[in-house]
């Protein structure tokens, strides 16, 4: 299930739980706006004011306020300078032919939106230490799942909202032996004893079309005989593809 679809389910849950007075048609439109990028067919079936479905999650060209928000926030939080100025686009945008359009002179701002996003993926989201912490958190949650039943909450909006950072503290402070392995992984993160980054390989552009994702098995099968032999569970491989949201297209 995509996070957009869970957002729509959460909205339903909030409206029901708090008896919010809202017209069913309005609620339907709001949910369709949320899932527009993950379910383009829904938005394409809309006959009137199609542009409204490009504001929050733009499945048509990827220019939306969601990116405006997280790019600005993440750059500031990580101390990364950003030349992208979302206000310039907001001031110049107009609806023409049922589509949100921008002045031709603002093409550089559009370009910076996508290049800044790509830079964040390269320098922050897929940074070796960020990936190490991410992999360790996943391992800790998997270890804790059988005892805490984390995955049971993943599809129920009534429980899903409870799955926030407090779950890490719950694992750390739990006295149960069942959570010992999960707790040890979290404590390793606290001590900065992270999974070790070994190597990376940038695939040449002319090889991309025929290059298959590398697996842990590939790495293990490629090792030269030595005193230490790695097993598949010792290796984590992260295959990363970073583009301007449209693959090879500009």
Render pLDDT for 115-153 as a digit per residue (tens, 0 to 9): 999 999 999 999 999 999 999 999 999 999 999 999 988
pLDDT of residue 238: 94
pLDDT of residue 41: 47
Task: Examine the pLDDT at 239 and tell me if it is beyond 90.
Answer: yes
For helices 3-17 and 24-35, angle between their N-to-C axes, nearest 10 degrees: 160
Across all residues in the chain, what is the average pLDDT?
Answer: 90
CA separation for the pair 66, 57 (Å, rounded): 7
Contact (CB, 8 A) for 36 and 50: no
CA separation for the pair 104, 58 (Å, rounded): 19
CA separation for the pair 125, 44 (Å, rounded): 31
Task: Examine the pLDDT at 205 and tell me if it is beyond 90.
Answer: no
pLDDT band (50, 70, 90) for residue 45: low
In 123-240, where does DSSP find H-type helix?
Answer: 128-148, 157-160, 166-173, 180-190, 216-222
Task: Examine the pLDDT at 207 and tell me if it is beyond 80.
Answer: yes
Which residues is 99 bridged to in the sheet? 96
pLDDT band (50, 70, 90) for residue 245: confident
CA separation for the pair 42, 175 (Å, rounded): 48
Question: In this prediction, what percent of the chain has a pLDDT beyond 70?
Answer: 95
Q: Domain-by-domain residue ranges, the chain?
A: 36-124, 126-197, 200-249
Task: Examine the pLDDT at 201 and tell me if it is beyond 50.
Answer: yes
Contact (CB, 8 A) for 9 and 17: no
pTM to 2 decimal places: 0.84
Per-residue pLDDT tens over the stretch 98-112: 999 999 999 999 999
Per-residue pLDDT tens over the stretch 51-84: 998 998 888 889 999 999 999 999 999 998 888 9
Contact (CB, 8 A) for 64 and 58: yes
Question: In this prediction, what percent of the chain has a pLDDT beyond 90?
Answer: 67
Task: Examine the pLDDT at 39 and tell me if it is beyond 80.
Answer: no
- Residue 3 bears catalytic tag: yes
CA separation for the pair 168, 33 (Å, rounded): 32
pLDDT of residue 117: 95
């Amino acid at each position: 299930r995509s996070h957009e679809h869970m957002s729509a389910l959460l909205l339903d849950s909030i409206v029901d739980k708090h008896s919010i007075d809202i017209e069913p048609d309005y609620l339907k439109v709001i949910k369709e706006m949320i899932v527009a990028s993950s379910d383009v067919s829904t938005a394409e079936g809309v006959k009137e004011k199609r542009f409204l479905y490009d504001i929050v999650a733009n499945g048509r060209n990827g220019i939306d306020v969601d990116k405006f928000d997280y790019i600005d926030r993440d750059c500031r939080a990580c101390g990364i300078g950003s030349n992208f100025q979302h206000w310039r686009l907001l001031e110049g945008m107009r609806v023409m032919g049922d589509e949100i359009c921008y002045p031709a002179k603002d093409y550089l701002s559009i370009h910076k939106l996508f290049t800044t996003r790509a830079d964040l993926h390269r320098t922050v989201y897929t940074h070796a230490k960020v990936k190490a912490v991410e992999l360790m958190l996943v391992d800790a949650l998997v270890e804790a799942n059988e005892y805490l039943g984390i995955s049971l909450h993943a599809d129920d909006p009534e429980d899903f909202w409870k799955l926030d950072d407090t779950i890490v503290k719950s694992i750390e402070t739990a006295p149960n032996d069942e959570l010992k392995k999960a707790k040890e992984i979290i404590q390793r993160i606290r001590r900065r004893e992270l999974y070790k980054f070994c190597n990376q390989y940038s695939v040449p552009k002319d090889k991309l079309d025929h290059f298959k994702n590398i697996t842990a098995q590939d790495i293990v099968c490629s090792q030269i005989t030595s005193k230490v032999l790695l097993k598949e569970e010792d290796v984590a491989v992260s295959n990363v593809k970073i583009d301007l949201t449209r693959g090879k297209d500009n």
